[in-house]
Chains A and B, each alone.
Chain A
Amino acid sequence: AQSVTQPDIHITVSEGASLELRCNYSYGATPYLFWYVQSPGQGLQLLLKYFSGDTLVQGIKGFEAEFKRSQSSFNLRKPSVHWSDAAEYFCAVGSYNTDKLIFGTGTRLQVFP
């Protein structure tokens, strides 16, 4: 079955520390992969996307993610977290043969000063 797993429900980091949010997927077709961020009371903002090619993709707000096919993973990273990064982060997967995105359960990021 197609699914996305975000193993970490809640992560707390100090401002300035590095961050890695994990995402694993199970998908039969070639995946398209996305990370979205949701701030309280806001919609889902697209951080970055992977369709093909270079497996390290850069996104907005200083985020990057690496696609590792052998591990079925698409982890999100940021070298230095800012207090404004506190939000919920969702990994999602889609493909060329479907309209829908399948979302993970999300990881809530808390940032301490």
Chain B
Amino acid sequence: EPEVTQTPSHQVTQMGQEVILRCVPISNHLYFYWYRQILGQKVEFLVSFYNNEISEKSEIFDDQFSVERPDGSNFTLKIRSTKLEDSAMYFCASSVRQGGLGFEQYFGPGTRLTVT
């Protein structure tokens, strides 16, 4: 069964460093998402991406964050200058479409980001 994959599974970085989290969505999906889950808190939406542009973003997704689909398979989340509060599990997800049947989002296993 097709699945979303994410690399790395765990990333440790120092405050102020740039990190790139990588995801390979399910191949026939067209919508891509990033969520994060700070330890002990809810899963929160960050951004959605469709047709090579951001479709929707939350207030969390400020100028420190960016997303890109550099090729036909990868979808990346970049954090330009990490802060301690960016430590979280980051989930990538994908769906066939937005709205209605096919909107169900399939999640990857997550990347645990630890900022020291």
Tally of contact residues, A, Cβ under 8 A: 26
Q: Which of B1-49 contact A (CB under 8 A)?
A: 4, 6, 31, 33, 35, 41-45, 48
Q: Which of A35-58 contact B (CB under 8 A)?
A: 36, 41-46, 49, 51
B98 within 8 A of A: yes
Chain A 87-113 against B: per-residue CB contact (8 Å), 1 yes, 0 no?
000101011111111111110000000
Residue among B6, B50, B103 facing the most chain A CB atoms (10 A cut-off)? B103
Are B99 and A97 in contact, with the CB atoms below 8 A?
yes
- CB-based nearest A residue for B32: A99
- CB-based nearest B residue for A46: B104
B100 within 8 A of A: yes
Are A42 and B109 in contact, with the CB atoms below 8 A?
yes
Are A103 and B91 in contact, with the CB atoms below 8 A?
no
Q: Which residues of B contact A32 (CB under 8 A)?
A: 103
A34 within 8 A of B: yes
Instruction: A45 to B110: give the CA distance in the assembly, Å.
Output: 12
Listed A/B pairs (8) with beta-carbon separation below 8 Å: A43-B91, A44-B93, A51-B101, A51-B103, A92-B43, A96-B100, A100-B45, A103-B43
- Residues on A facing B (Cβ under 8 Å): 32, 34, 36, 41-46, 49, 51, 90, 92, 94-106
